[in-house]
Amino acid sequence: MSKVHNFSAGPSILPKEVIDACVEGIQNFSGTGLSVLEVSHRGKEFIAVVEEAQATLKELMGIPEGYEILFLGGGASMQFLMVAYNLLETKGAYLKTGVWASNAIKEAKYIGNVEVVASSEDKNFSYIPKNYTIPSDADYFHCASNNTIYGSQMQSFPDSPVTMVCDMSSDILSKRVDVSKFGLIYAGAQKNMGPAGVTVVIVRKDILGKVSRQIPSMMNYKVHIDKETMFNTPPVFPIFAMLQNLKWVKKVGGVAEMQKRAAARANLLYDEIDNNPLFQGTVETGDRSQMNACFLLKDTALEEKFNAAWKAAGISGIKGHRLVGGYRASMYNALPIESVEALVNVMRNFNK
Ligand SMILES: *Cc1c(COP(=O)(O)O)cnc(C)c1O
């Protein structure tokens, strides 16, 4: 099989060694002679997987003491609801920067009052709002660090007067983040951390237990913490696969190396988008995402030809989201720079 350059927005590319380690685990898990698909989540071999995944993530992200790490089902979308369930008493403050941030707002409204502190909806979410004020009477401030669909990314985080909660689904582990600024971070694994099926929640314990409502068990962070993330059967295989990927990140140089690679990939592609007269970016330059680069062909009549050209080069998954149109190249941690070079070459040759 010739090489496929996988720019999929999610679920997305994983390193070949991670896929190989998953194959091995499916055939013979930790030398048990059994598949990881058919063992108890309470056996010592799988408990060791969970503990190693927590320890590795803690080390990679520099997670301080006082935080718990949970591996839950339900996707990042369930966190939209769970955050509000566990934290919203008076009101939640939200930054509206795209589809996922809007979905978080929608779910929080099922629980209580929501104040949108700023929005970039006026320009089709093509920038990150600045100079907004986070109300100090809110229970928390929620933001999405990277807007997977529109291709914008927060370049820095505000100094929030209240607990900061962040959806980092599509840029976690791609750059260094000061975890101590956040009360809660969550991320679906399927963009930058592993396959679909597990969502990581990093929560500072002291922010919990402050709301007056009853919280159903599955929605309650404290229940999951008390049961060491095994209140119910956890997503066993996705956690196993995520561990293989965390080990890969650590082996190749950790988050600092991921950050270097992300910058190199993004600079290469955005330079081409800006210098090639056929294309244009869709997001304000200073707010562009290093993970998801959205761009358009200025002359849409050329689309069919361009599509044929990148497909012939073995490129997969760059068709834009229907809300933005055009193209979106998702460049997550495992994407080699050679894949970006292949895309840039297609764009250059297309211009010639
Ligand atoms: C993909 C994505 C989600 C949704 O994740 P699910 O696991 O499908 O619920 C939420 N937030 C962001 C930023 C995403 O990129």
What does the DSSP 8-state code read for residue 319? Answer: B
Helix (H) or strand (E) holding 49: helix 44-61
> 323-351 pLDDT, tens per residue?
889 999 999 999 999 999 999 999 999 99
127 Cβ below 6 A of ligand 1: no
Q: What is the pLDDT of residue 181?
A: 98
Residue 247 has pLDDT above 90, yes or no: yes
Q: Is 10 in the pocket of ligand 1 (CB under 6 A)?
A: yes
pLDDT for 2 equals 61
Mean pLDDT of 134-139: 98
Q: Is 98 in the pocket of ligand 1 (CB under 6 A)?
A: no
Closest to 269 (Cα-Cα) out of 350, 352, 345: 345
**Of 351, 283, 295, 339, the residue nearest 319 (C-alpha):** 295
Are the CB atoms for 193 and 250 separated by under 8 Å?
A: no
List the residue whose alpha carbon is closest to atom 5 of ligand 1.
Answer: 76
Phi–psi pair at 67, nearest 5 degrees: -105, 145
Residue 1: pLDDT band with limits 50, 70, 90: very low
Structure confidence by residue, pLDDT tens digits, 204-232: 999 999 999 999 999 999 999 999 999 99
Q: What is the pLDDT of residue 172?
A: 98
| Residue 272 neighbours by CB distance under 10 Å | 21
Tokens coding 326: 């055009």
Rg of the chain over CA atoms, in angstroms?
Answer: 21
- Asked whether 100 lines ligand 1 (CB < 6 A), one says yes
Question: Does the annotation mark 191 as catalytic?
Answer: yes
Residue 57: alpha-carbon gap to chain centroid: 14
Letter string b/e over residues 195-207, b meaning 16 or more CB atoms within 10 A of that residue's CB: bbbbbbbbbbeeb
The first and second tokens of residue 130, run together, are 């600045």
Mean pLDDT of the chain: 97
Mean pLDDT of 245-261: 98
What is the 349 CA–ligand 1 centroid distance (Å)? 34
Establish whether residue 234 lines the binding site of ligand 1, counting it when its CB lies within 6 angstroms of any ligand atom.
no
Tokens representing 56? 């590795």
Q: Which residues pair with 119 in a beta bridge?
A: 96
- Other beta carbons within 10 angstroms of residue 221's beta carbon come to 24
Atom of ligand 1 nearest to the CA of 77: 9
Which single residue is written with the structure tokens 């460049």? 331
Q: Is 231 within 8 Å of 218 (Cβ atoms)? A: yes
Residue 227 annotated in active site: no
Confirm or reject: Cβ of 188 under 6 Å from ligand 1. Answer: yes
For 282-338, how does the pLDDT look when each residue is reduced to its tens digit (9 = 90+)? 999 999 999 999 999 999 999 999 999 999 999 999 999 988 899 999 999 999 999
Q: Enter the tokens of residue 240.
A: 């196993």
> Among the atoms of ligand 1, which is closest to the Cα of residue 170?
15
The band of 3, judged by pLDDT with boundaries at 50, 70 and 90, is confident
Distance CA 313, CA 2 (A): 10
**Percent of the chain clearing pLDDT 90 (strictly above):** 98
- For the chain, domains (ranges, CATH) are 16-252 (3.40.640.10), 253-351 (3.90.1150.10)
Mind listing the pLDDT tens digit for each residue in 153-198?
A: 999 999 999 999 999 999 999 999 999 999 999 999 999 999 999 9
**Model-level pTM?**
0.98
Which run of H or E residues covers position 60? helix 44-61
Residue 310 annotated among the catalytic residues of the structure: no
pLDDT at residue 218 in the model = 98
- In which band, very low, low, confident or very high, does the pLDDT at 119 lie, cut at 50, 70 and 90? very high
pLDDT for 329 equals 98
d(C-alpha 348, C-alpha 345), whole Å:
5
Q: Which of 96, 171, 175, 191 does the annotation list as catalytic?
A: 191
In the chain, DSSP finds a helix count (H) and a strand count (E) of 9, 14
